[in-house]
Amino acid sequence: MTAIAIARTTDLFAAVMLSGIYGLVSASFFVALDAVDVAFTEAAVGAGIFPLLMLVVLGVTGRYEKTALKPQKAALMKKVAVVITMVITGGLLILGTMDMPAFGDPEAPAQQHVNIRYIEQSPEEIGIPNMVTSVLASYRGYDTLGEVLVIFTAAMGVLALFSSQLFVTRKLSVKIKKDDMHDHNVLRIVSKILIPLILLFAFYVQFHGEYGPGGGFQAGVIFAAGIILYTMLYGLDKARQVIKPGVLRVLCALGVFIYGCTGVVSMLSGGNFLDYSVLASDPIIGQHLGILVIELGVGITIAAGMILIFFAFSHQAESQLGEE
Amino acid sequence: MFFDLYNYWIVFVLMMIGLYMVINQSNLIKKLIGLNIFQTSVFIFYISVGKVNGGSAPIFSSTETLYSNPLPHVLILTAIVVGIATMALALALVVRIKKAYGTVEDSELQEKDPKC
Amino acid sequence: MELLLDLISAVCFILGALLILSGGVGILRFPDFFTRMHAAGITETLATSLILIGLMLIAGWGLVLFKLVLILLFILLTSPTASHALAKSALHGKLKPILHNEHSK
Amino acid sequence: MLIMLAVVLLTVMVMALARALLGPSIYDRILAVNLFGTKTVLLIAVMGFLFGRPDFLDIALVYALINFISIIGVLRYFEYSDSKRIEGEP
């Protein structure tokens, strides 16, 4: 499989390309296993954002892996030891699967508990067809809030690590670097057509998430991908004029804020925290409203967070290039 | 019967490859790629658990009656995005390490800073 | 009418499959990058459109058809662009195509 | 018919993967990834029809999009690091 090849290549760049393929493969795997929402996310993240981030970092750290400096024998010994450990652990794990219910067995214990309620009740209780969305936003609203907070924190962490001049607009007159993409005119024009389409599609995914696969997480990533495409083609400075990093930072927090506020509002109007049924006179409409608002919050946070992270990385890469 | 479990085996093989990369590669970026593979194998594991034979994607429709388990999907959906966010954090750390020490190789790092 | 549509889509599928296969063989067997690119780039667009048109014919009216059209549009826009950009940057890089006179030396 | 198509697509995907592994130059790999991505788009579309739930073409759409973006990104950063290396060599 792809993974073995990734492990063996020393050329990091090639490894990143292969990990892109790996993302695609695993996403098709998810489709085959009926997990459309997951495939959606994995396609956007595993095949898109992750390799891009890796590439930016490679631009900073250098492309080739160094060959081992240690004496060969010690390295070999270590390798053998690691492989043996691997085989033993893997063997034990596989042995463990012997007790597991067969793959796809509807009688398996994992299918017996809350799952039945989710599947049978959610169309009546929440009133939207996509069960993944209803579980995500309503039944397990706390979890999702936590995850959004984690993403927010991670974005802030990246920014803190690159305590850089990202928020100070550089003077453009310093030196206009040779724009790498300047001679790719065809690319620029096609992308100009595509970017609005991508952003539009992101909105479609955002608000259609109740009926088909999609939702805030995916939409945020797609939106960020559109902006990232713009950044790559027109340079960071231009992209920062379009979307100010300061605004992004506020947006990133705003998403979490929206999410939390929805919970508080529902609590104030007499329900539990994040219980949307009380938001409108009809519980189902209330649920609808709550999920819509929350997905919006999630989408905003993810999009802003991803763009911020990308900006931070590519700013780092560019400034390093400027130093040399 | 025996081959009913093949899916889990793939998961574990992937997992071991990821673990191997994390332990044995000295390049930090390579380690992170390995971590990513490990992560994905766990995702696949969860989704495999949620699969029901003959079921279809958990989006309500009038023609289908049997659905896959939506709960693992939800967990993994969020886990993927959280995964990329934390991965970004890790990459940021790698960049800082590169800046501070001038290398991203494990062994060289240890030579330069024996304390860590 | 139904039969006719099915028939046309089947023809589309077979043609598309053949083209894809030839592209795959091409990318595996051709000697250097630019010939590989030629094999992949040309077959890709046509084969993809053929298959998507075939799917459209069996899809019938509705949102599905619209999405297929969207995908087709997207592929038609992006695939040649990506090929173009790739070839261009490969040419700017150190890769040189095998030219005829060079080959005969 | 659809099954035949899916099998062909899988075969070609394996071929592209082989090229990505062998690929002497970076561009070969990028090309292979591109091909692989397009085939995945098709495979998802075909699979949607095969399983009788063709509502999920959104995913195929996202694939097409992401594929393009990552190709562009790869090209850009490859040129980037390349020019940097040339500058770095005195």
Q: Do A59 and D30 touch (CB under 8 A)?
A: no
Residue B1 lies in a domain: no
Q: In total, how many domains does chain B have? A: 1
Residues in chain A: 324
Residues in chain C: 105
**Residue D52: closest C-alpha in chain B:** B56
CATH number, position B32: 1.10.287.3510
Hey, how many other C-beta atoms are within 10 angstroms of the C-beta on A81?
A: 12
> What phi and psi values does residue B27 have, to the nearest 5 degrees?
-80, 130
Q: Which pTM does this prediction carry?
A: 0.76
Q: Return the amino acid letter for D61.
A: L
ipTM of the complex, rounded to two decimals: 0.75
Give the pLDDT confidence score for residue A153 in this predicted structure.
83
Could you tell me which of C67, C60, C49 has the C-alpha nearest to residue C6? C60
Q: Do A58 and D77 touch (CB under 8 A)?
A: yes
Hey, how many other C-beta atoms are within 10 angstroms of the C-beta on A242?
A: 10
* Residue ranges of chain B whose CB lies within 8 Å of a chain D CB: 56-57, 59, 61, 64
Domain extent, residue A219, equals: 130-324
* Residue ranges of chain C whose CB lies within 8 Å of a chain A CB: 74, 77-78, 81, 84-85, 88
* Touching pair B, A by Cβ (3+ pairs < 8 Å): yes
Residue with tokens 């489709």: A31
Domain extent, residue B98, equals: 9-51+68-112
Residue A23 lies in a domain: no
Give the pLDDT confidence score for residue C39 in this predicted structure.
79
Q: Which of residues 32-51 of C touch D (CB under 8 A)?
A: 33, 36-37, 40, 44, 48, 51
Q: Please say if the pLDDT value at position A4 is more than 50.
A: no
Q: Name chain A contacts of B43, Cβ cutoff 8 Å.
A: 26, 30, 38, 42
Q: Please say if the pLDDT value at position D35 is more than 80.
A: yes
Mean pLDDT calculated for residue range A71-94: 70
pLDDT digits (tens, 9 = 90+) for A126-170: 666 666 666 666 667 777 778 788 888 888 887 777 765 555 544
Task: List chains touching B (3+ CB pairs under 8 A).
Answer: A, D
Q: In order along chain B (116 residues), what is the average pLDDT of each group of 10 residues? A: 61 74 72 80 77 64 64 78 83 79 68 63
Q: Please say if the pLDDT value at position D90 is more than 50.
A: no
Tokens of A54: 């890796």
Residue B61 lies in a domain: no
- Nearest CB to A194: which of C77, C84, C88? C77
Residue B31 lies in a domain: yes
Q: Please say if the pLDDT value at position A174 is more than 50.
A: no
Gap between the Cα atoms of A302 and A224, Å rounded:
8
Residue A182 lies in a domain: yes
Give the pLDDT confidence score for residue A27 in this predicted structure.
65
Domain extent, residue D37, equals: 2-88
Q: What is the mean pLDDT of chain A?
A: 69
D10 vs A11, higher pLDDT: D10
Domain regions of chain C by residue span: 2-97
Q: Strand, helix or coil at B56?
A: strand
Q: Return the amino acid letter for A51.
A: P
Using 70 as the pLDDT threshold, list the residues of chain C that sit under it.
93-105
Whole-Å CA distances, C16 to A13, B87, C50, C99, D50: 32, 39, 5, 31, 17
Q: Name chain A contacts of C88, Cβ cutoff 8 Å.
A: 183-184
Mean pLDDT calculated for residue range A212-223: 77
Give the pLDDT confidence score for residue A322 in this predicted structure.
57
